[in-house]
Structure 1
């Protein structure tokens, strides 16, 4: 007799892992995504395509203690902020070797502290702060959802709900591009892990298409 339990099914290993670094520095420029990607690119091992490494910084404040940061102000860096690089599992050890490196991000110096590796969790609901649309201009919700559904189906992910959120402009070396936040809900936990590991759309080096677990919609 063969009996596979749900717990055993949940042990699928993700293709990627998150390598997180403690950060020391004063601040980040408001449009930090592209300069950060440019500063990281020459530091990565040759086997990694810099454009395919997921990059995000956690715990960046928009406001606090009675103030609200305006778009033209730098982002003050809290002590708990972390630089998180989502990379293929086989390159995690090499990427962790960035511990002790310094990055010049548009004039702001960041020092990378001790690295820690984290497994990508299974999750039936995931959220991306920004996803690049199929066009450079305004991101029409219908066009983004259609492109997302097609790409998700290609990786075997079939969610019950896709919800677009706020639109924002991302400044890149090639000019501004429009993005939207996106919530993907109602898929199996393993499908959610697969989506987090692979990402969605272009621009992971700018923090685009990077998903993290989110509370369920219903």
Structure 2
């Protein structure tokens, strides 16, 4: 874990050139390990996603609801989706209309599950000082300390972000035709607003179309521990 004293931050205007587009869904269940299947299905429907600096968030549901516990990756287990579950795709604002036109009203096959996509609504990125990525694909065979060093170096060199507080989470292999893709969850805290925005817009590491390196707002370190 990295931990340094926080610094004062100043208010900034958040540009809307990158947004998340949230689509309503019609789907009862979905494989837990669906990142690759979802990516391929969406790329088949919207080929320009591969060249648009886009990111596809994996579909996520609450850890527990009405006594149901979210299953772990592996074993062919399924998520139970609610009516409030959304599909979120991060794209340049100029691409929103084209994305909605391509996806609204279609159905996709995701690992044998039918995923019906409804209306999409853009949502601007905020400026939270704490961000969380469920999956970050870094170099293989790194322990937690080495992974955090890699994170700090890459953020400093590529995005001019200084890591102040970081917590590395559990490892999750994502299934692909070429074998398991190793990933780790990652929380970064005490980001400056401009750093937070930059990180959300550009991400960290490869495989953004499989949900890797995409950061979302989070409550903080305690909440990450509970999620793990």
Q: TM-score scaled to structure 2, two decimals?
A: 0.83
Superposed CA RMSD in Å reads 2.4
Q: How far is 1:53 from its partner?
A: 2.5
Corresponding position of 1:209: 213
1:65 to 1:217, Cα distance in 2 relative to 1, 3 A: closer
Are residues 1:113 and 2:114 paired?
A: no
> Which stretches of structure 1, 4 residues or longer, exceed 4 Å deviation after superposition?
6-9
Are residues 1:147 and 2:150 paired?
A: yes
Counterpart among 74, 81, 103 of residue 77 in structure 1: 81
Which whole-Å CA distance do the structure 1 matches of 2:58 and 2:173 have between them?
A: 18
Which whole-Å CA distance do the structure 1 matches of 2:170 and 2:33 have between them?
A: 17
Corresponding position of 1:10: 12
Where do 5+ consecutive residues of structure 1 fail to align? 1-5
Counterpart among 33, 36, 60 of residue 34 in structure 1: 36
Corresponding position of 2:46: 44
Which whole-Å CA distance do the structure 2 matches of 1:130 and 1:78 have between them?
A: 23
1:140 to 1:14, Cα distance in 2 relative to 1, 3 A: farther
Which whole-Å CA distance do the structure 2 matches of 1:62 and 1:187 have between them?
A: 26
1:212 to 1:111, Cα distance in 2 relative to 1, 3 A: same
Which whole-Å CA distance do the structure 1 matches of 2:112 and 2:159 have between them?
A: 39
Corresponding position of 2:24: 22
Where do 5+ consecutive residues of structure 2 fail to align? 1-7, 223-228
1:63 to 1:187, Cα distance in 2 relative to 1, 3 A: closer
Range with greater deviation from structure 2 (55-64 or 95-104): 55-64
Which whole-Å CA distance do the structure 2 matches of 1:155 and 1:191 have between them?
A: 8
1:17 to 1:51, Cα distance in 2 relative to 1, 3 A: closer
Range with greater deviation from structure 2 (192-201 or 168-177): 168-177
Which whole-Å CA distance do the structure 2 matches of 1:214 and 1:142 have between them?
A: 22
Q: Secondary structure at the match of 2:57?
A: strand
Summarize the alignment of residues 47-196 of structure 1 with structure 2, pairs less than 5 Å apart: 48-49=49-50, 52-71=53-72, 72-97=76-101, 98-135=103-140, 138-153=141-156, 154-196=158-200
The count of corresponding residues between Structure 1 and Structure 2 is 210
